[in-house]
Every structure is written in structure tokens, then in C-alpha cells.
Amino acid sequence: MSDHAPSATSLSRWLYTTNHKDIGSMYLWFSLSMFILGGAFAMVIRAELFQPGMQLIDPNFYNQMTTLHGLVMIFGAIMPAFVGLANWLIPIMIGAPDMALPRMNNWSFWILPPAFLMLASTLFMEGGAPAFGWTAYAPLSTTYAPPSVTFFIFAVHILGVSSIMGSINIIATIMNMRAPGMTYMKMPMFVWTWLITAFLLVAVMPVLAGAVTMMLMDIHFNTSFFSAAGGGDPVLYQHIFWFFGHPEVYIIILPAFGVISEIIPTFSRKTLFGYSSMVYATASIAFMSFIVWAHHMYTVGMPVAGELFFMYATMLIAVPTGVKVFNWVSTMWRGALTFETPMLFAIGFLILFTIGGFSGLMLSIAPADFQYHDTYFVVAHFHYVMVAGAVFSITAAVYYWLPKMCGRMYNETMGKVNFWISFVGFNITFFPQHFVGLAGMPRRVPDYALQFADFNMMSSIGAFIYGMSQLLFMYNVIATVIAGKPVEENKTWEGASGLEWTIPTPAPYHTFEVPPDLTKEKIHATA
């Protein structure tokens, strides 16, 4: 903070801070609040689907809930959580004093709360919140959209600006501020996954900005980018959106891979198996994420050659993902495993994310996808990747690094109970959706045929169980921060296997050698 900044009251500390740890904490607290909001929208959806027929809300409000649930969870909860972890951990992991652009870091956070306040306020505007789904397909989002769509577009622009600023900061930090001797191939996997993710974000957020700007033009300035009546094409919107949307899925899951690559070696008491292959697999996934977007669009009438290209490219992306799963399992193989809370969530991630990967392979097959498309099978697949993938890994990361962040130990028993309730609740919610999807139940519909009633009731019960587990998680975290038992640095705790381990200790990062001729003067000159 400069000499002319306001005095360091508790409020100004957060408003004007340029400290990477403070900004990381703000991202994480903001993410938690958005999880609560997005989860509340999901509870409304599942309460309505508890029985067939219209029970609680009208169909238009149901569609508003599906739109806001998706937007808040992806852009408000999952992405800021990973950015918060990046802010906290990357400088520590690479030996940097702070992020490269600390003032921009502060700004990239503080534009988020107004953006989501504006997005949530669309619920109270004329015509209600947008009801076109988080994908905002034209013409639902242009010709038939409520007036609040303009505020939705503005909010998306702000979110994009925040993401781009955060990404540039992460790239600049990793590329310019590594400690002497910390080469690229000695960086922790979490740093690697975020470096690659940041490049993805810089590449695709302008594409989303272009899509919503064309929407704005169609709505207010009489253009016809997506209107067939004026010579445009609604399918053009889908191509542009999914060229952003598919890399976005990997933007969400790559940092999760980094988290799991830190946690599994720690609780296996082994270094990560196949470090270099993990780096190359991550880079391969990032590259291929740009050439598979139209697998979301098999039913729009593409040429068969196009369908075949996207089908084979999508199948191919399973190979580097399989390499990563193999390496995680190999890391655990013959390790001295203990099953503390972060490890339980990491193993839960491994099992459930793999199931999501297999259902994704099924969806990649074009002729089969004609049947699965827009059914609850897609919903099940997506949530096995997003929730069991991203959310489980965020939970694991918070439990893993919380003692490091606040110097206090969480309640281990409560953490394990949280895991088991989450694991059971999640599977009761989403596993039956594979079956109703294969039987033909369409997604985004508030009513359904009688034959789907039992599985939907099961899904709704599971969703409320899972929601309860998140409240338990929230209580454990807040209680730890406020009144947790202090953890002495380097104090050893007895692990379940009888081996000693250190709390709080990050994953065993790759050691780097300092050149023998390096003097203090040289270090200061480098800095």
C-alpha cells in the first residue's frame, strides 16, 4: 500500500490490500458465498423435481433457476476458488515474494462482487432473470429474452475482464518470479496446471466476450448475427460459445488435477509418479481442448466428416487424461497410505471423475450422442466431472492447506464425516440420472413422465443430503479459522500408518539446487 492510501483499518486492509494471501482469502470467502447461493438455486430445482407435476414454482422461474445455478457455480464459485488457491500458493511454491502485478490483482477481485450482485439482481427485474440456460443459446437469448439480458451481458463482460487480469498476473508471476534454480521442470504440478490454465483463459475469454457482444448488437442495434430472418444463423452462436465453452471445462478441471497431484503424493509418502509425463499430458489436454468444441453440437446437422473429426478428437483427449489417472494410482501403489480428510476427497475425486470420464467417452460417439443429447445422461456426466471433479478437489485443497493458511487445525473427525456424507449424497443425486437419461428424460424441463418419478425422488433426496454436507464443511472451516486448535510449525503428528508426518506441510515439492557461485548480491540483483 502506498503512503497516500487510507489508514490500515480492518476495512481498508481488504479494500486496498496488495498482499497475495489477503487477496487469495477474499477469493475463497467470495467463492464460499457463491457456493451457498448457487446451491440454493439447485435446491429449488431439486425440490420442484421431487415429484412429477408442477408443485412449487412456475416453469419460467424454474428455467431462471437453471440459468443462474450454472452461471453462479461455474463463474462465481468454482473459478474464483481456484484463483484464490493460486493467489495463496503460487508465490509460496515458486519462492516469489508476491504476485507480479499486485494492484491489478486487487482490482481483478473487487470487480467480481458487483458483477454477481448485478447478475443476482436480474431476479427482481421486469420479466425476471434470463431463462435461457447458462449456455445462453440464441434466439432464446436474443429474440425472446427478457430485458434483464442486457445486465447478464454486462456481468459476463466484467467476469471476463477479471479472469483475463488474473491470468496475466499468474503468467507474469510464474514466468518472471521463480526463485533461482527453480526451472520449469522443477515446478510443483499445481503451478504447472495453473500456468497452462492461465494461457487457456487469456485465449478463450475474448471469444465469450465476442459472443455476448454480438448478442447485445442483435438485441439493441438491429443486427442479425444470430437471426435467420436477417441472414444470420443461430448455429453460429453455438460454434462461438462452445469454442469458448469446451476449453472452459478444462480451465475448471486442470487446477483440480494440480491439487490432486499435490495431495496424493503427500499421503502416499512418495513423490509423484511420472512428473514429466504429467506436465506433457496437461499441455496435451489444453491443446486438444480447442479442437473438440463441436462434440456439443452433433445434432445441428454437421457434415458426417465434421462429426467424425470431432468424434475422434474427443476420444483422443481421453488418452492424456488416462495417463494422469494412471500416474495418480501408480503414486499410491505400494505407498505408505493414510486416509486423512484431504486424501479421502482426493480418492473420491479419482473414482468419481473416472466415472465421469467414461460417460464422456460414451457421449463422444456421434451416433450414440444423437440419443443421449439433451437428456439427463448429459447432466449426470457433467456433474460427475464438475462436482466430483472440481468441487471435491477444492474441498480437498481447503482441508489440505487450511492449517498452512490460518495456523489452526480443522476437526479431523468432522472432516471425515463431511467426506462420507458428500460422497454418498453426491452418488444418490447423480448416479440415477444416468438411468433416467438413457430412458429418455429430457433436461431443463420442470415436469416429467410418471415412469421417472422414483429416480427423481432419489435424486432430490441425495441433493439435500449433499447440500447438508456442504453446510458441515462450511461450519468446519469457519470454526477452524475462528477457534481451531493452533498448529505449531514442524510439530509432528502420528499418522494412521504409524509413520510421522508434519502439519502443516505442503506436498513434497521438487527440490531445486542453488548454483554454488550464487551470492547474496546476485540474488538481490536478480530480484
The answer to whether the CB of 195 falls within 8 A of the CB of 284 is: no
Residue 92 counted as domain residue: yes
Q: Which residue has 449456455 as its cell numbers? A: 135
Question: Does the pLDDT value for residue 80 go beyond 80?
Answer: yes
167 catalytic per annotation:
no
The answer to whether the CB of 345 falls within 8 A of the CB of 419 is: yes
Catalytic residue among 46, 178, 270, 296: 296
Tens digits of per-residue pLDDT, 421-478? 999 999 999 999 999 999 999 999 999 999 999 999 999 999 999 999 999 999 999 9
Question: Does the pLDDT value for residue 179 go beyond 70?
Answer: yes
Residue 49 counted as domain residue: yes
pLDDT of amino acid 508: 42
Secondary structure class of 397 (helix, strand, coil): helix
Full 3-state SS string of 409-431: ECCHHHHHHHHHHHHHHHHHHHH
Mean pLDDT of 496-510: 41
Residue 514 counted as domain residue: yes
Q: Which three cell numbers stand for residue 76?
A: 462465481
248 catalytic per annotation:
yes
| Rounded percentage of the chain residues whose pLDDT exceeds 70 | 91
162 catalytic per annotation:
yes
pLDDT of amino acid 505: 42
DSSP state of 88: H
Residue span of the structural domain in which 414 resides:
11-526
Q: Partners of 500 in the beta sheet? A: 494
98 catalytic per annotation:
yes
Residue 165 counted as domain residue: yes
Ranked by mean pLDDT, the top range of 10-19, 70-79, 511-520 is 70-79
Question: Does the pLDDT value for residue 497 go beyond 60?
Answer: no
443 catalytic per annotation:
yes
497 catalytic per annotation:
no
324 catalytic per annotation:
yes
Residue from 470, 319, 461 nearest 387 by CA: 470
Please report, for the domain that includes residue 384, its CATH number: 1.20.210.10
Question: Does the pLDDT value for residue 494 go beyond 60?
Answer: no
Amino acid present at 460: S
220 catalytic per annotation:
no
Cβ neighbours around 229 below 10 Å, total: 8
Q: Which three cell numbers stand for residue 457?
A: 425422488
Question: Does the pLDDT value for residue 238 go beyond 70?
Answer: yes
Catalytic residue among 248, 262, 307, 369: 248
* Helix, strand, coil tally for the chain in percent (to 5): 70, 5, 25
| Residue that wins the pLDDT comparison between 513 and 373 | 373
| C-alpha triplet 9, 27, 389: angle, nearest 5° | 160
pLDDT of amino acid 512: 45
486 exposure class (CB count in 10 Å sphere: 0-12, 13-18, 19+): exposed
pLDDT of amino acid 15: 85
For residue 487, name the pLDDT band (cuts at 50, 70, 90).
Answer: confident
Helix (H) or strand (E) holding 408: strand 408-409
The answer to whether the CB of 289 falls within 8 A of the CB of 318 is: no
157 catalytic per annotation:
no
The answer to whether the CB of 437 falls within 8 A of the CB of 378 is: yes
Q: Which three cell numbers stand for residue 398?
A: 481447503
pLDDT of amino acid 517: 55
460 catalytic per annotation:
no
State pTM to two decimals.
0.90
Tens digits of per-residue pLDDT, 279-292? 999 999 999 999 99
Q: Which residue has 492449517 as its cell numbers? A: 403
Question: Does the pLDDT value for residue 181 go beyond 80?
Answer: yes
The answer to whether the CB of 132 falls within 8 A of the CB of 216 is: no
For residue 515, name the pLDDT band (cuts at 50, 70, 90).
Answer: low
The answer to whether the CB of 473 falls within 8 A of the CB of 420 is: no
69 catalytic per annotation:
yes
Average pLDDT score over the chain = 91
Catalytic residue among 178, 246, 270, 434: 246
Residue 86 counted as domain residue: yes
pLDDT of amino acid 489: 55
Amino acid present at 466: Y
For residue 16, name the pLDDT band (cuts at 50, 70, 90).
Answer: confident
283 exposure class (CB count in 10 Å sphere: 0-12, 13-18, 19+): middle
237 catalytic per annotation:
no
339 Cβ contact partners less than 8 Å away, ≥ 6 residues apart: 267, 347, 496
| Rounded percentage of the chain residues whose pLDDT exceeds 90 | 88
Catalytic residue among 21, 29, 98, 135: 98
Residue 6 counted as domain residue: no
Residue from 433, 332, 333, 429 nearest 388 by CA: 429
Catalytic residue among 250, 372, 400, 509: 250
Tens digits of per-residue pLDDT, 291-315? 999 999 999 999 999 999 999 999 9
Residue 177 counted as domain residue: yes
DSSP state of 442: B
| Residue that wins the pLDDT comparison between 521 and 33 | 33
Residue 3 counted as domain residue: no
261 exposure class (CB count in 10 Å sphere: 0-12, 13-18, 19+): buried
Domain count, the chain: 1
